[in-house]
A and B are shown apart, each in its own frame.
Chain A
Amino acid sequence: AQSVTQPDIHITVSEGASLELRCNYSYGATPYLFWYVQSPGQGLQLLLKYFSGDTLVQGIKGFEAEFKRSQSSFNLRKPSVHWSDAAEYFCAVGAGNQFYFGTGTSLTVIP
């Protein structure tokens, strides 16, 4: 069965510091992988996606993610966090015609 695990429920970083949000998945075939961001009371915005090809994917707002098949991971990174990055982040696997979401990581950015 497909599943997505985001081990960190909540992360706090200082503005300007680097960020890495972890995501592990379980899927029998090559997955389609996504990272979404959700601001309070809002829908989801796509940050980046991986379908195939280069395993390092660049997204919007300075985010990137790396697909590591051997580790079944798709971690999200940003070299320097801005206060506006505070939000909820969801990793998702596309399998068949459905999405499976992780439980999310809440990011707090302190000045």
Chain B
Amino acid sequence: GAVVSQHPSRVICKSGTSVKIECRSLDFQATTMFWYRQFPKQSLMLMATSNEGSKATYEQGVEKDKFLINHASLTLSTLTVTSAHPEDSSFYICSASRGAKMNTEAFFGQGTRLTVV
């Protein structure tokens, strides 16, 4: 299967600082990338969907000014958590899809554990 690389796998930052998480599709062009947040022992919550070259579509309740998503190329999307607070501590996972329709599968990164202290 295709490979999606997410970096960093773990990050600790101070409250008030910003953190950038990268999601790269290594061997395919990702038309669409998704960003999820996962709380302990819970399912994945879709935060936003991004298509290359256009603005991300955020799910209801997700602050777009706090979680900045950039999908500048077909192989890279970034999530920046701005002015991070302890409540932003979570496991963030990206996925990338080859196609625009769901008759293609999405490939997941290994996730980023963010801890805000």
Contact = CB atoms under 8 A, between A and B. Distances in A.
Given A36-B108, A97-B97, A103 B43 contact: yes
B90 to A, nearest CB: 13
A32 B104 CA distance: 9
Given A43-B109, A44-B93, A101 B100 contact: no
Contacts of B43: 90, 101-104
B32 interface: yes
Given A41-B111, A98-B49, A46 B105 contact: yes
A103 B42 contact: yes
Interface residues of A, number: 24
A44 B1 CA distance: 13
B34 A98 contact: yes
A35 to B, nearest CB: 11
B103 A99 contact: no
Given A43-B6, A44-B108, A90-B44, A32 B1 contact: no
B32 A97 contact: yes
Interface residues of B, number: 27
Contacts of B44: 44, 90, 99, 101
A42 interface: yes
Given A98-B49, A99-B34, A43 B111 contact: yes
A97 B93 contact: no
28 contacts: A32-B103, A36-B108, A41-B91, A41-B111, A42-B110, A43-B108, A43-B110, A44-B93, A45-B108, A51-B103, A90-B43, A90-B44, A95-B102, A96-B101, A97-B102, A98-B49, A99-B34, A99-B44, A99-B46, A99-B95, A99-B102, A101-B44, A102-B43, A103-B42, A103-B43, A104-B42, A104-B43, A106-B41
